[in-house]
Amino acid sequence: MIKMENIAKSYDGNTMVIRDIGLEIKKGEFFVLLGPSGCGKSTLLRMIAGLEEITAGDLWIDGRHANELLPKERNLSMVFQNYALFPHMTVRDNILFGLDARKVAKKEQDERLNKVAEIMGLAEYLKRKPAQLSGGQRQRVALARSICSQTPICLMDEPLSNLDAKLRGQMRGEIRRIQRMLGLTIVYVTHDQVEAMTMGDRIMVLNEGCVQQIGEPLTVYNDPENLQVATFIGMPQMNIFRARAEQEGLRLNGSLILRRCGGQPCPAPAEECIVGIRAEHFRRGNESTGYVLEAKAAMVEYTGDETQISFENGQGYSVVKWPGQIPAEAGEALTLGVDAEHLYFFDKDTGHRIRQDGGRSQ
Amino acid sequence: MKHARHRLLGAAAYLLPALLIFVVFTLYPFVLTCVQSVFTTNAKGDLIGFGGLDNYVRLFQSALYRISLKNTIVYIVLTVPGTMVLSLGMALLTSRDRKGMGIFRTIFTLTMGISVAAASMFWTFMFHPTMGLLNTAIEMFGGEKIGWLTDMDIAIVSISIVTIWMNTGYCYLILLGGLKSIDKTYYECADIAGVSGWQRLKRVTLPLLSPFLFYVLVISVVNAFQSFGVIDMMTHGGPANSTNLLVYSIYEDVFVNYNYSFAAAQGVVLFVIVTGISLFQMKIVERRVTYQ
């Protein structure tokens, strides 16, 4: 549906804000562009929309070479972060905006409007102005406009970022439901990893204008290609240590030691590297088959359904996360087990993942 | 209790300067004018007897007053739309950030820095029957000379041209600022939907610009009603009262005819007209304005 080859963008001809992006988005796919602010994800989306020029590379939309196509010729719709609802128009006119220009007959417009208003639960608000709506309702109107245009591709630029947490969770599910129902191809920009993980069929993680990884949400989570992806996805953030291989195990940040149990081989692929351990991968006690870490609890936090314990690691704090309410107190000694398969190794200079089993995925 | 009195005193201290200026320079003269208008006055301006509504009755029977009222309406009909369309057009042309746009923006706002006197002098030369640039140009192309300021039917048009020329700079600046303040995602939304050209202007730009257009409309109308400088400098209301506007008529009755109470009555009527029109604009026209 959308294909990019070596796409690049530069505003001044020197600095590239986006470099060498290649990807293919399939019909009916929910594709998420994820990255920290300023990584170029919105720019990339706007290049697909035709709102930004493509400096280099090729873009195909629905089989057509689209680099030079005007936005309206690309047959897509877009939901903006601020919704771009016209304050002087009623909800109805906002939803139908652009259908006259696309020469859709009045009768057909009414049919579409009624259907969309029903799907989105907007039927009783059609005569209101945007100023008389709540944030969530405005969001729905923006979405309804996009659906009403019946374009096969819908681009969304951080559409949920102006909503409060509860509504955001609700709209996540709603957008996903409508996308499935109508078979839309959605390209969705967000900096929120929860949105990316829960909504996307596939995620592309971008950083500083470069693709870090493209894959299904769980693949990206379980098998990150590099340190960037590993630390960007996951809450709390993956614990990162500088590791040095020693006789008895791995010295972390020059202070803690990750000791081998039994006959485990030396875990480090190099004498010095970076090791990452997710908070939920620590086990309680030394029942682990792999490695053990002795630390001292610095702070214990209960969220009700889980317990987070942080411990000092020589350069800051690392976090352990366990389900349930685990009795613990600050200052208490912790024995933490980690299985071998839950150690992520990264090159200390490039941040690339070092796979111990010859590069195969875990 | 003490706290409340303290707050009141504080508020009064802050309000006093503005209040004082308002009372001394606006409210007091206004009340005085109203009082004067129901009396008769001598040539020195002293009140010499109660006249009731005599001045007002005389006013509406006065042929000259009717002429100046008609002239003022013609003047408004010419200058307000003229100024608005011209300044809007210029603002639309220069609203995009392109290279060299600053030069045009500067040129278009230059008239703001020119005094009425200087502009009137300059345009008097332009309109000069034999040596003026306009007539010279018309003659060069084989046309017939126009009596810009001497022809009774043309003079009001000429005065309007000067007024438009004078006011466009300011209105242009307001509208340009308005255009620049419109969130560009509205245009991007229109681009993607394929709404362009005249449709985009009508459905996106003008409605979003409406608060600014409304402001420009209101001040243009008020300014037109109060127009005096250009008339005084260029035509003195002539020829044959064809450019005699309401404020100029007041001026003549005070400073030429020493007819103070009659002029005061004209002032009160002008006040009522301007207030009425402003109220109409705020109640009726402003309904179509959307503030963001």
SS3 letters for A148-191?
HCCCCEEEEECCCCCCCHHHHHHHHHHHHHHHHHHCCEEEEEEC
Examine the domain organization and report whether A45 and A181 are in the same domain: yes
- Residue A79 backbone phi and psi in degrees, to 5: -110, 120
Chain B segment 124-183 residues within 8 A of A by beta carbon are 183
Domain of A295, CATH number, reads 2.40.50.140
What are the tens digits of pLDDT across the range A249-282? 888 888 888 888 776 666 677 788 999 999 999 9
Whether B7 maps to a domain, the answer reads no
Structural domain of B113: 62-288
Instruction: Say how many C-beta atoms besides its own lie within 10 A of residue B56's C-beta.
Output: 17
Q: Which of A71, A82, A89 sits opposite B185 (nearest CB)?
A: A82
Whether B172 maps to a domain, the answer reads yes
Residue A360 has what pLDDT?
38
Examine the domain organization and report whether A211 and A255 are in the same domain: no
Whether B93 maps to a domain, the answer reads yes
Examine the domain organization and report whether A216 and A338 are in the same domain: no
Q: Could B193 and A49 be called an inter-chain contact, meaning their C-beta atoms sit closer than 8 Å?
A: no
Q: Which of A78, A86, A88 sits opposite B192 (nearest CB)?
A: A78
Best probe of the A interface among B189, B196, B292, by most A CBs < 10 A, is: B189
Best probe of the B interface among A76, A85, A88, by most B CBs < 10 A, is: A88
Find tokens 């002008």 and name the residue. Answer: B270
Q: CA-to-CA distance for A135 and A160, rounded, in angstroms?
A: 10
User: What tokens were used for A353?
Assistant: 């993942």
Examine the domain organization and report whether A158 and A213 are in the same domain: yes
Examine the domain organization and report whether A172 and A307 are in the same domain: no
Q: Is B235 in the A-facing interface, judged by CB distances under 8 Å?
A: no
Identify the sign of the CA torsion B157, B158, B163, B164. Answer: positive
pLDDT band at A286 (very low <50, low <70, confident <90, very high): low
Whether B2 maps to a domain, the answer reads no
What are the tens digits of pLDDT across the range B38-87? 988 888 878 888 888 888 999 889 999 999 999 999 999 999 999 999 99
Whether A175 maps to a domain, the answer reads yes
In B, minimum Cα distance to A49 occurs at B192
Domain of B278, CATH number, reads 1.10.3720.10
Please say if the pLDDT value at position A124 is more than 60: yes
Chain B segment 185-214 residues within 8 A of A by beta carbon are 185-186, 188-196, 199, 203-204, 207-208, 210
Cβ(A110)–Cβ(A99) below 8 Å: no
Query: Which strands make up the sheet holding A56-61, listed edge to edge?
Result: A16-25, A2-10, A56-61, A64-65
Q: CA-to-CA distance for B212 and B286, rounded, in angstroms?
A: 11
Whether A360 maps to a domain, the answer reads no
ipTM above 0.95, yes or no: no
Secondary structure (3-state) at A7: strand
Examine the domain organization and report whether A45 and A16 are in the same domain: yes
What are the tens digits of pLDDT across the range A232-255? 998 899 999 999 888 778 888 888
Q: CA-to-CA distance for A59 and A18, rounded, in angstroms?
A: 14
Examine the domain organization and report whether A204 and A100 are in the same domain: yes
Residue A287 has what pLDDT?
65
Q: CA-to-CA distance for A165 and A160, rounded, in angstroms?
A: 9
Residues of A in contact with B207 (CB under 8 A): 86, 88-89
Taking 50 as the pLDDT cut, the residues of chain B under it are: none
In A, minimum Cα distance to B196 occurs at A101
Cβ(A40)–Cβ(A208) below 8 Å: yes
Examine the domain organization and report whether A180 and A153 are in the same domain: yes
Whether A362 maps to a domain, the answer reads no
What are the tens digits of pLDDT across the range A43-82? 999 999 999 999 999 999 999 999 999 999 999 999 999 9
Write down which residue in A179, A195, A229 finishes a domain: A229
Cβ(A213)–Cβ(A225) below 8 Å: yes
Examine the domain organization and report whether A159 and A240 are in the same domain: no
Q: Which of A74, A82, A100 sits opposite B183 (nearest CB)?
A: A82
Q: Which residues pair with A300 in a beta bridge?
A: A309
Please state the domain count of chain B.
1
**Cis peptide leading into A159, omega within 30 of 0?**
no
Examine the domain organization and report whether A253 and A283 are in the same domain: yes
Q: CA-to-CA distance for A120 and A329, rounded, in angstroms?
A: 49
Please say if the pLDDT value at position A121 is more than 60: yes
User: What tokens were used for B74?
Assistant: 């013609």
- Please count the residues of chain B: 292
Taking the CA of residue B200 and the nearest CA in chain A, the distance in Å comes to 10
Please state the domain count of chain A.
2
* CB proximity list for B291: less than 8 A, separation 6 or greater: A87, B211
Please say if the pLDDT value at position A311 is more than 80: yes
Structural domain of A206: 2-229
Whether A103 maps to a domain, the answer reads yes
Buried b vs exposed e over A172-186: b needs ≥16 C-beta within 10 Å? Answer: bebbbebbeeeebbb
Q: Is B101 in the A-facing interface, judged by CB distances under 8 Å?
A: no
Residue A362 has what pLDDT?
37
Examine the domain organization and report whether A156 and A295 are in the same domain: no
What are the tens digits of pLDDT across the range A183-226? 999 999 999 999 999 999 999 999 999 999 999 999 999 999 99
Whether B94 maps to a domain, the answer reads yes
Examine the domain organization and report whether A212 and A253 are in the same domain: no
Q: Which residues pair with A188 in a beta bridge?
A: A32, A156
Question: Mean pLDDT over all residues of chain A?
Answer: 90
* CB proximity list for A184: less than 8 A, separation 6 or greater: A28, A147, A152, A153, A154, A178
Residue A347 has what pLDDT?
92
